[in-house]
Amino acid sequence: MTVKKVLLTGSNGQLARALHKNFPKNHNLVALSKEDFDISNMTHVEKYLKKNKFDLIINSAAYTNVDSAEDYPRLATLVNKFGSQNLSKASSGMCPIIHISTDYVFNGRKKTPYLEDDETDPINNYGKSKLDGELEISSHNPERIIIRTSWLFSEFGNNFLDTILRISKEKNLINIVSDQYGGPTSVNDLSLAIIFIAEEIFAEKKISWGTYHFSGYPYTSWKEFAQEIVKCAYKYNLLPQLTDVRGIKTEEYITKATRPRSSMLDNSKIYNEFSIKPSNWKEELNRILKSYGN
C-alpha cells in the first residue's frame, strides 16, 4: 500500500500520544502541537493546508477543561467550534477528517445508552462548544467520521485515573460521585479504533461517513471506577493501603460545570459498520497499572 500522509492535531494530548505510539510506521504521521499548529487560527490553518497536502486529518485537539469552560466559554468556543470549522473547511475537497467528540453533547437524562441519532442537549459550555464543533465538521466536509467517546483514561497524563491514584496516596478515605454512569474508555482502545477506520479509508473501502459512539464497557459509576483503580493499584504495590472509596451524590460534589447523569453510549453502530469493539476497561486498567508497577 502507498504511504499515506496524515495530520494529527493537538499532539501533546493523551489521545494524540496514544495515536502517535500506535500509528502504523509505514505511514507518514505529521503530529503537531498547539504551539506549531493552532487550530483556532484560521489564517494559519488555511495557509498551512494549502501548502501541505494530506490524505487524512485526525483532529484530537480540543479545549477539554470542562469546569474552566464555564468561566471562559469564548475560549472553549474558539477552539472547539471555530477550530473544527477551520479544519473542516480547509480539508473539504482535499481529504477526509476524523474528529473526536463527547458524551457531553447529551443532557444525561436518558435511562438507556445513547444512540447516535438521539437528541442532543448539552448542559454545560464544554458540551455546547463540542456540539457546535460537530455541526461545523458535518456542514463543511462530507467525508467525516465523528467519534463520540466518554471518560477517557490512559497512562498519558491528566485524567481520572491519575487523580484517583494521587489522592488515594494521600488519604485513607475518598468521596466519589456514585450516581453518574458511563463507560470508562481506554485511550489505547480508542486510538486503535481510529487507526482501524483510517486504514479502511486508505484502502478506499466504502465508508459510511457520519457519527459513531465508542466507549468502554461495562458501564459503571465514577465511584465503582475509583474503587477498581484503588483495588488494582494496591495489587501492584502502587498504594500503601486500600483506600476506602465512599459514594456521594452529585449534589454533594459541587463543580462549576453540571455533569450529565448518564454518559452511557451505545456502541452497536461502530460494531455493525466496522466490527470495532472496545475491550473491557478493567483489563486496560490492569495493563496500565501493572506497567506502573514495573
Ligand X SMILES: NC(=O)c1ccc[n+]([C@@H]2O[C@H](COP(=O)([O-])OP(=O)(O)OC[C@H]3O[C@@H](n4cnc5c(N)ncnc54)[C@H](OP(=O)(O)O)[C@@H]3O)[C@@H](O)[C@H]2O)c1
Beta strand pairing call for 181-182 and 220-221: antiparallel
Q: At closest approach, how far in Å is the CB of 286 from ligand X?
A: 20
Nearest to 226 by CA among 244, 204, 208: 244
**Residues of this chain that bind ligand X (CB under 6 A):** 9-10, 12-15, 34, 38-40, 60-64, 79, 83, 100, 102, 130, 149-152
Shorter beta-carbon distance to ligand X: residue 22 or 235 = 22
Indicate if 126 belongs to the active site: yes
Please count the other Cβ atoms lying within 10 Å of the Cβ belonging to residue 169: 13
Which residues contact residue 135 at a Cβ distance below 8 angstroms, ignoring those fewer than 6 apart? none
C-alpha cell at 138: 458535518
Q: Which residue of the set 63, 104, 114, 126 is catalytic?
A: 126
Residue whose C-beta lies closest to ligand X:
13
Shorter beta-carbon distance to ligand X: residue 62 or 174 = 62
Shorter beta-carbon distance to ligand X: residue 71 or 244 = 71
Shorter beta-carbon distance to ligand X: residue 76 or 245 = 76
Q: At closest approach, how far in Å is the CB of 218 from ligand X?
A: 18
Shorter beta-carbon distance to ligand X: residue 14 or 168 = 14
Q: At closest approach, how far in Å is the CB of 249 from ligand X?
A: 22
The residues annotated as belonging to the active site are: 126
